Structure 1
Amino acid sequence: MADIDWNAPWLADWRAVGEPIAQRVVAGVLQAQALSDAGLAPVGFVPQADLPEGQAYEDFIYARGQVPTREGLHDFFNALCWMHFPLAKKRLNQLQAAEIARAGVGQVRGPVRDAATVFDENALLIQAPDVVWEALTSHRWQDAMVAWRAQWAHVRLWTFGHAALEKLVQPYKSITVHLWRVPNAVDAAGLDAWLAQDLTTEKLATKPFSPLPVLGVPGWWAPNEAPDFYEDVGVFRPRRLRIKAEKPYAIQEIGPAA
């Protein structure tokens, strides 16, 4: 917790709420207590031990209005996301709980739970001019980040995925997020409500994500000022052609999804 750089650009929207809570945790307050005491989320935060054995994490949240919380960065950023995007987080939980009620908890998540988890853990919300968006989704990295670099003055980004934020505490070049496009007509004040409406089972099932090595965002990391930064094809990979017989992407159940 003490390693968080609250001056990092990806935490610009989170600092005012997150830094005082982190300071209490560093001082020795239990994380669930510090988060609950803030009173800024539509749910409470309880120790992980409160989750009954055999009950699904998402189902517990839906039924109790409480989030089982472990000590550490992963669940800390998850809680901050509940504070910043309460409607969208509630919507994701409703979708997860509905899928659990319909199909139960198996060894492999279904397509909706799969996509909801990818979003919850790794989404980066983006408003961007069409030329930038088209270059990003085509993996034309030199166009998106170099040729159109001046256009990033008109790009707006909101971090969402708590697993991505956990990784960014110790930044490395290959950290990759999943972009979710926000219409330019949506302003910051209306973002959470819009997102809660946009997160439908139908849309999630299509997995409308576009990957982005996030430290390539202009202005977010000093090394990307170097001309050859985006030439690393091990990180900035060309787009793969889809094949009809593509196997479905699945996430195995390996304990509670924070």
Structure 2
Amino acid sequence: MAAGGLGAIDWHAPWLAPLAPLGRRATQRVQAGASVATALNALVDEGAVPAPGVRFVPQAALPAGMAYEQFIHDRRSVPTRDNLHDFFNGLVWLRYPATKRRFNQLQAQALAQDGVGAVRGPVRDALTVFDENGALLLAPPELHAALAARQWRRLCVELRPLWRQARLLLLGHALLEKLISPRKSITAHVYQAQTAIDNVVNLDDALARDLTAPWLAAKPFCPLPVLGVPGWWPENENFCFYDDSVVFRGARQLTQAQPNA
């Protein structure tokens, strides 16, 4: 991976705060000539994070014809390319290892039941959405209710003071990659947990326990344009930011759009 790709990451961006300490250290190693897999493994070996239960290996280690998810499950190894997409995937593995292991366990179960197939089943499809583009909102119930109803002005303007009690954690590595070049339309799929997991000792473990196949099959996600989060983007200080009905679409608009989506 060209050093310039990593150089484009703004580690001061608020959405990167949980990953920034590890991300900066991994970036230094890659810019010094290490592969992404080597840089990620080094963070574990030097004790920067607890062992995530997997090792990172070059993409060439994945045998032809073998499913990526099955390889991770069987070999406890994550094929990793030298690009930003896999760099962020590795950082999420290091920051939320229990959740990523649970993703993989459920993916392997679905593969064992349904095979690879040309089309993913509902559980694998939901896991892919979460893994690539997911987020978790820890917030007062009023914010969750407004998000579920797609009441954008209420969520981001009327209830703006409540965001001081909230955290939005981005787990989707494709989402993190897209935010290298922020634009208003970038949207996270916010996971709606079955149980309250805000006040727990280990958030990662709690989220992993909450993930079950039947619940995921219903795709329990709400869309949230992430640059609308108060404090995340200067332009949303002007509340006209939320009047964009293309990006901040109401529930009725989403329902009407379904047949043509």
Both proteins in one fold, TM over 0.5? yes
1:1-258 equivalences in 2 (<5 Å): 1-39=6-44, 40=49, 41-181=52-192, 186-187=198-199, 189-240=201-252, 242=255
- CA 1:12 to 1:189, structure 2 compared with 1: closer, same or farther past 3 Å? farther
Q: Moved runs in structure 1, 4+ residues, more than 2 A?
A: 181-189, 240-243
Question: 2-side partners of 1:184 and 1:107: how far apart?
Answer: 36
User: Mean Cα displacement is larger for which, 37-46 or 48-57?
Assistant: 37-46
Question: 1-side partners of 2:230 and 2:205: how far apart?
Answer: 28
TM-score computed with the length of structure 2 as normaliser:
0.89
Q: Verify the 8 A CA contact 1:44 1:66 in the aligned structure 2.
A: yes
Q: Verify the 8 A CA contact 2:156 2:230 in the aligned structure 1.
A: yes
Question: 2-side partners of 1:181 and 1:237: how far apart?
Answer: 19
TM-score computed with the length of structure 1 as normaliser:
0.90
% identical aligned pairs:
52
Which SS does the other structure have where 2:18 is aligned?
A: coil
Q: Which runs of 5+ in 2 are unaligned?
A: 1-5
Shift of 1:113: 0.2
The one-letter code of the counterpart of 1:55 is: M
Q: Verify the 8 A CA contact 1:139 1:238 in the aligned structure 2.
A: yes
- CA 1:135 to 1:57, structure 2 compared with 1: closer, same or farther past 3 Å? same
Q: Verify the 8 A CA contact 2:57 2:80 in the aligned structure 1.
A: yes
- CA 1:87 to 1:20, structure 2 compared with 1: closer, same or farther past 3 Å? same
The one-letter code of the counterpart of 2:36 is: Q
Q: Which runs of 5+ in 1 are unaligned?
A: 250-258
- CA 1:185 to 1:77, structure 2 compared with 1: closer, same or farther past 3 Å? closer
Shift of 1:27: 2.1
Aligned residues: 246
* Structure 1 match to 2:3: none
Q: Verify the 8 A CA contact 2:139 2:198 in the aligned structure 1.
A: no
Which SS does the other structure have where 2:188 is aligned?
A: strand
Structure with more contact order per residue of length (Cα contacts < 8 Å, sep ≥ 6): 1
Structure with more helix by fraction: 2
Which SS does the other structure have where 1:23 is aligned?
A: helix
Deviations 1:170-200 (A, max 9, x none): 1111000011245655336411111111010
Question: 2-side partners of 1:79 and 1:7: how far apart?
Answer: 19
* Structure 2 match to 1:252: none
User: Mean Cα displacement is larger for which, 229-238 or 29-38?
Assistant: 29-38
Q: Verify the 8 A CA contact 1:111 1:205 in the aligned structure 2.
A: yes
Deviations 1:99-134 (A, max 9, x none): 111111111100000001111111111122222211
Q: Verify the 8 A CA contact 1:42 1:82 in the aligned structure 2.
A: no
- CA 1:101 to 1:157, structure 2 compared with 1: closer, same or farther past 3 Å? same
Which SS does the other structure have where 2:246 is aligned?
A: coil
Instruction: Calculate the aligned-residue CA RMSD, in Å.
Output: 1.7
Shift of 1:68: 0.5
Deviations 1:206-225 (A, max 9, x none): 11100000000000011111
Which SS does the other structure have where 1:228 is aligned?
A: helix
Q: Verify the 8 A CA contact 1:128 1:184 in the aligned structure 2.
A: no
